[in-house]
Amino acid sequence: MKLKTIFCSVMIVLFAMSCGNDTAEKPGTSETKFDYNVEQFADIKILRYQIPGWDDLTIKEQKLVYYLTQAGLAGRDIMWDQNYRHNLKIRKALENVYTSYKGEKSSDNWKAFETYLKRVWFSNGIHHHYSNDKIKPGFTSDYLKTLLSDTQTTLENDAFDVIFNDADNKKVNQAKDVDNVLLSAVNFYGPNVTNKDVEIFYRNKKSLDPKKPLSYGLNSQLVKENDVLKERVYKSGGLYGSAIDEIIKWLTKAKSVAENKAQGDAIGLLIAYYYSGSLQIWDDYNVAWTAATAGNVDYINSFIEVYNDPLGYRGSYETIVQINDFDMSQKMKVLSDNAQWFEDNSPLMDAHKKDSVVGVTYKVVNVAGEAGDASPSTPIGVNLPNANWIRAAVGSKSVSLGNIIHSYNNAGSSGRLKEFVHDDEEYELEKAHGQVADKLHTALHEVIGHASGQLNPGVGETKETLKNYASTLEEGRADLVGLYYLYSPKLQELGLVDDWQAVGKAAFDGYIRNGLMTQLIRLNIGDDVEEAHMRNRQWVSAWAFEKGKADNVIEKITRDGKTYFNINDYEKLHGLFGQLLRETQRIKSEGDYEAVEALVEGYGVKVDQEIHAEVLERNKQFPSPPYSGFVNPVMVPEANDAGEITAIKIAQPETFDGQMLEYSKNYNFLPTEN
């Protein structure tokens, strides 16, 4: 599970009070000047990140990072095809036009074409990376036909028409009382597969050990042929086999330079999983990977997060390669060391608390490379594995992506903070404590939040019981754990903060401000909230606002025609967060679908249209886009006459389009139709 960039973009990027844009040297050095900004277009800002600690790695460790990064990039096109069945055809055609067209390039039409292609690159397809809406081109179909003709590029039939028509408008449809699978364009299911088909198909899947349920559906596409449902498994020789073989090639190289036996054994199991597609081997791999905590290098690779599946079964391909930040990890290790204290002292019902929180490891890491669902838009924190039984029996790994957060913080301030805070006190609290609060919330969300609580005996996995609400419930529950403990003297006792009340107040202010107002800059007027993380921030904030009305805990204030939300009683708000945390864990533990539906639909979906219009109007003065993502540093190996790598240098890409075109050229391992 991962903490998405929406939290970082709004809580850190929009509100960061940091230095401006400096000129760059190279990442991985002691140089202090670095240009974090690449470009911006539409609603997106492209940033760079450095790799602190690179020069401190041995050549063997650098090789390991390089091989793991290449393995990740080898599967890049899998994510494109998973997102939508025509994405690879469309991308190939648009890129050929972009690189081949010799005509007029100063026209509004051409500029609109460039912007559209960059938006498609950023989203790994033609649907917006966050809203899931189909991206609308700013040019006509006739203009695109002219470009295709002038460059002798072929794009025909549905793959052409879908750019301009109303078909497949929503990549992931989470609306209530509709057939979510049938109405979602994501390529996890055949076009004629329905919600009922999925539920019936997996209802008949039984794990040999009910206490260790397999992650059915995680690594396959479900299609219907002659009215018979069947899975197309992602594996060597199966669906996406040509790209998976390339992933295996690089993972085999990585295994040969593993830092220790445990790490090498885990990589070996991942290779075996890619060869076989066996979900039992996937679980064996996750157990081994979770236990392999020694070393300077770690990674995430495979079909993991299920946010893009409207029913929460199928995993999107992603990879993140990480270098440990030992100094920060040691400072934050205190959280994982005290995980049992947090569990014992939580407001959960006793039956829902774990008697023994096992193997929670927390590290601050520096990203060395990302691909698939983690790039260009990246999480800022990750907690894996996702299987509840592995978390309970073996534990989990939680990481905070330190250099990613650092880049967000240093890419420049937009000025939105001053516009949306209620008063100077709130402004000064955010300036003084906001970044610390954000970092701690990420850590508490990942380390304590996702690791907390347990299901009642006999209750199925949340994807089965809570269905399309499972992801937003889990993310909201983890957020609530973080919020509850951010306003606690325990953090100061553990040496994590100097003033727990000030940090907690800054955290509460920022969360409510974001959940009730500022995140709305990402929506168009009239839209419902659909993305899981964005929903959870709204239902948490709106529930607390409503339940605290009798005591005026959070006050809605109108001043000079502008709306603000001011917290009058932080102690009572802390209590409300505790009540909601207790209830969300009950819902998860008992598999209470009616309750989660009422919570999410009642508080997390509909938007106050007057406030939304006001927020968009107030936001017009700020040119900084609401979304940010990254280009990746480039690893350049140097070899001797025998072909052995002797050094690996780090370079920064100059442009976003340059990196996207280079990726398409060098990591093109899938046909356009799979």
Domain co-membership, 574 together with 604:
yes
* 97 belongs to a structural domain: no
Across 26-30, 42-46, 183-187, least confident range: 26-30
pLDDT, position 8: 37
Domain co-membership, 588 together with 649:
no
* 70 belongs to a structural domain: no
| Model pLDDT for residues 187-215, shown as the tens digit of each residue | 999 999 999 999 999 998 989 999 999 99
Domain co-membership, 502 together with 638:
no
Domain co-membership, 425 together with 444:
yes
pLDDT at 108 over 50: yes
* 105 belongs to a structural domain: no
pLDDT, position 6: 35
Across 116-125, 161-170, 255-264, 412-421, least confident range: 412-421
pLDDT at 642 over 60: yes
Helices of type H across 214-367: 241-256, 261-276, 279-291, 326-337, 339-344
* 224 belongs to a structural domain: no
- Phi, psi (deg, nearest 5) at residue 295: 110, 170
CA distances from 368 to 12, 53, 54, 225, 327 (A): 21, 10, 9, 42, 17
Domain co-membership, 330 together with 406:
yes
Residue range 483-501: mean pLDDT, rounded: 97
pLDDT, position 326: 81
* 186 belongs to a structural domain: no
CA distances from 218 to 214, 360, 387, 662 (A): 9, 24, 11, 30
What percentage of the chain exceeds 70 in pLDDT?
95
* 240 belongs to a structural domain: no
pLDDT at 416 over 90: no
**Under 8 Å between Cβ of 89 and 155:** yes
With cut-offs at 50, 70 and 90, classify the pLDDT of residue 577.
Answer: very high
pLDDT at 10 over 60: no
- Phi, psi (deg, nearest 5) at residue 240: 65, 20
Residue 393 exposed, middle or buried by CB count within 10 Å (0-12, 13-18, 19+): middle
Domain co-membership, 655 together with 519:
no
Domain co-membership, 589 together with 643:
no
| Model pLDDT for residues 527-542, shown as the tens digit of each residue | 999 889 999 999 999 9
Domain co-membership, 504 together with 652:
no
- Type of residue at 114: E
Residue range 504-521: mean pLDDT, rounded: 96
- In the predicted model, what is the mean pLDDT of the chain? 92
Helices (H) and strands (E) in the chain, counts: 26, 15
Q: Which domain holds residue 660?
A: 633-666
Our count of domains for the chain comes to 2
| Model pLDDT for residues 27-38, shown as the tens digit of each residue | 333 345 899 999
pLDDT, position 570: 98
Domain co-membership, 639 together with 602:
no
* 347 belongs to a structural domain: yes
* 533 belongs to a structural domain: yes
Domain co-membership, 643 together with 496:
no
User: Is 342 strand, coil or helix?
Assistant: helix
Residue range 99-112: mean pLDDT, rounded: 97
Which DSSP helix (H) or strand (E) runs through 42?
none
Which DSSP helix (H) or strand (E) runs through 458?
none
**Mutual angle of helices 470-486 and 500-516, in 10-degree steps:** 150
Domain co-membership, 593 together with 659:
no
Domain co-membership, 434 together with 533:
yes
| Model pLDDT for residues 301-332, shown as the tens digit of each residue | 999 999 999 999 999 999 999 999 988 788 77
Residue range 281-288: mean pLDDT, rounded: 98
With cut-offs at 50, 70 and 90, classify the pLDDT of residue 478.
Answer: very high
Per 3-state DSSP, the chain is made up of helix, strand and coil in percentages (nearest 5) of 50, 15, 35
